[in-house]
Structure 1
Amino acid sequence: MSSHPTMSKFPEVQGGGSLILAWQIKDKHVLVVGGGEVAAGRILNVLNADARVTVVCPASGLNEEVAFRVSEKQVAHIDRNFEPHDLDGADMVMCAIDDPEASSEVWKLCKERRIAANIADVPPECDFYFGSVHRDGPLQVMVSTNGNGPKLASIVRKKIAETLPSNMGAAIENVGRLRKKLREVAPNPEQGPKRMKWMSGVCEQWSLEELVSMTEKDMDGVLSFYESGKVPTIQEARAE
């Protein structure tokens, strides 16, 4: 008999998906080609991720929202059509123009330079897709149909959002602050597994309402139990 484990013990591979990641692009340079409605949505997405954005598009082609971001200096603006040297220094490119030939040229240039690119409405010319995103403070939930049905992604995202408590974002913010304080209390890397287990216990034991109402004083009270490994109730934490 074979000593190898049977395949059924392991998850089945389901090809055809995307690798969904939280891509950190803070201070990265993102070039957006075009200034219409689609470009406006792309620009907001990357500004929310704290990227540095340059829009290349004739001023006459900017819609109201993109023109506003230019006037507010939220983005840099190059007032002309795309030229290949615009890619110099770009970490990511998004193209949203009504010119398939010009769009494909942008794609080819990005491939030559190994720059991640998204050509709107042309799935084969995309290194990444935009999903439909629910945002509540630090919480982001993305639904992707892998380019098959963007409207359906929006419908699924709304259904998911409806099931989430309205104060979820505030609870996550407080958990983040507690984690940061815990790292200050127990900074050693070897404490990692204990920190993770203890924080998991707090998240599981405390209700969302308790996490939302947690004050700085409560956090200090909670942290006083960490050394023992005990996860206190909110009442025990406040008694400290």
Structure 2
Amino acid sequence: MYPINLNLNGQACLVLGGGRVAERKVCRLLDEGAVVTVIAPSLTPPLQELAESRKLSWQPRAYQPGDESAFFLIICATDDEAVSQAVAAAAKAQGKLLNVCDVPDLCNFTLPSIVRQGDLQLTISTNGKAPALSRWLRKRLEQQFDERYGRWLAELAAIRSQGRSLLPTSRDRQAFWRQALTDDVMALVENNEIDAARTLLRERLAAWERKDHET
């Protein structure tokens, strides 16, 4: 599998099925700003609530051939093997992005487990071979990479923005970050000393700028 992050903001996405698995998939799509349509005879109560609040579009029926044609991405979350096979054949013939839950052989993409802290996103994939291992690793990483790292990422983004104006070339910026973001800085982050880590990094940026002016 070739790893990729998709921008789904405003993209039309289809979820087939209205059970608990479909519910999880729909929520992830909505979190990413997708425009979601669900086709299913019935919905879980949370999906029903999302439909009633018009956060998704619901068509209360079974899948029909051609339903997939209007959508950028399709997730099939039904227990009907015949439907899964039909959707897979149709979607792939049209070059659509398709995930059939728990049937990796029918997919052209799989969904990794995700650890998210602010804009920091860590993903774990076993290429569909061992979802249980992905879940175990996700729980372990959630303990290790907690909200400290989301806050630190926001600090790094601000320092990086400042560095663009202080360091004139891409080569300068790359050289700075290779030498500045070191284990001692990250040790402060791990100890939840975010302010100290930010101060140290900004001091290094200022020292780097002075060095450039002196040479």
TM-score grouping bracket, smaller chain normalisation? 0.7 to 0.9
The alpha-carbon distance between structure 1 residues 214 and 125, as it changes in their structure 2 partners (threshold 3 A), is: same
CA deviation digits over 1:170-200, x for unaligned, max 9?
11122123323444x2697xx2222233244
Whole-angstrom CA distance in 2 between matches of 1:27 and 1:21:
18
Q: Could you say which residue in structure 2 is the equivalent of 1:198?
A: 176
What residue ranges of structure 2 are gaps of 5+ in the alignment?
Answer: none
What residue ranges of structure 1 are gaps of 5+ in the alignment?
Answer: 1-17, 231-240
Are residue 50 (structure 1) and residue 33 (structure 2) matched? yes
Tell me how many residue pairs correspond in the alignment: 207
Whole-angstrom CA distance in 1 between matches of 2:72 and 2:211:
44
CA deviation digits over 1:118-161, x for unaligned, max 9?
11121110111122221111122222222222122111221233
The alpha-carbon distance between structure 1 residues 199 and 107, as it changes in their structure 2 partners (threshold 3 A), is: same
Name the amino acid aligned to 1:72. S
Q: Could you say which residue in structure 2 is the equivalent of 1:28?
A: 11
Q: Root-mean-square deviation (CA), in Å?
A: 2.9
Name the amino acid aligned to 1:51. A
Aligned counterparts, 1:1-240, within 5 A: 18-58=1-41, 61-183=42-164, 185=165, 191-204=169-182, 206=185, 207-208=188-189, 209-211=192-194, 227-228=209-210
Is the CA contact (8 Å cut-off) linking 2:69 and 2:94 kept in structure 1?
no
Whole-angstrom CA distance in 1 between matches of 2:45 and 2:104:
27
Whole-angstrom CA distance in 2 between matches of 1:80 and 1:54:
12
SS in 1 for 2:150: helix
Is the CA contact (8 Å cut-off) linking 1:198 and 1:229 kept in structure 2?
no
What is the percent sequence identity of the aligned residues? Answer: 24
Q: How many Å apart are 1:109 and its aligned residue?
A: 0.7
